[in-house]
Amino acid sequence: MSTYAIGDLQGCLESFECLLEKIEFTPGQDRLLLAGDLVARGPDSLGTLRRVYALRDHLDCVLGNHDLHLLALARGFGPQKKKDTDLRAIIDAPDAEELLHWLQQQPLAHFSTQFNALLTHAGLSPLWDVKTALARANEIAAVLQSTDAALFFENMYGNTPTGWDDHLTGPDRWRVITNYFTRMRFINLAGELELNSKGETDKAPDGYMPWFEHPNRLSGDTLLLFGHWAALGGDITTPTLEALDSGCVWGGTLTALRLEDRQRITCDCAHLA
pLDDT digits (tens, 9 = 90+) for 54-106: 999 999 999 999 999 999 999 999 887 777 778 999 999 999 999 999 999 99
Specify the long-range contacts of residues 25-30, CB closer than 8 Å, at least 24 apart: 27/55, 27/57, 27/58, 28/58, 29/1, 30/1, 30/2, 30/3, 30/4, 30/58
Task: Give dist(CA 63, CA 9) in Å, integer.
Answer: 12
Residue 82 is predicted with a pLDDT of 74
Per-residue pLDDT reduced to its tens digit, 149-159: 999 999 999 99
| pLDDT for the residue 80 | 73
- For the residues 98-118, what does the mean pLDDT come to? 98
pLDDT per residue as tens digits for the range 243-253: 999 999 999 99
pLDDT in tens, 192-244: 999 999 888 888 999 999 999 999 999 999 999 999 999 998 888 899 999 99
Give the start-to-end residue ranges of the domains of the chain: 3-272
pLDDT of residue 68: 98
Whether the per-residue pLDDT at 13 is higher than 80: the answer is: yes
Predicted local distance difference test score (pLDDT) of residue 272:
74
pLDDT of residue 84: 74
Reported as a pLDDT band with limits 50, 70 and 90, residue 191 is very high
What pLDDT is recorded for position 273? 60
The pLDDT score that the predictor gives to residue 201 is 85
Task: Give tens-digit pLDDT for 172-190.
Answer: 999 999 999 999 999 999 9
CATH of domain 3-272: 3.60.21.10
Question: Which residues, 6 or more positions from 203, have their beta carbon under 8 angstroms from its beta carbon?
Answer: 197
**What is the average pLDDT score of the chain?**
95
Residue partners of 68: CB distance under 8 A and separation at least 6: 153, 156, 178, 182
Q: What is the mean pLDDT of residues 124-130?
A: 97
In this predicted structure, what is the pLDDT of residue 266? 96
Long-range CB contacts (within 8 A, 24+) of 82-88: 83/40, 83/41, 86/11, 86/39, 86/40, 86/41, 86/42, 86/43, 86/44, 86/45, 86/46, 87/39, 87/40, 87/45
Across the range 40-61, mean pLDDT stands at 96
pTM: 0.97
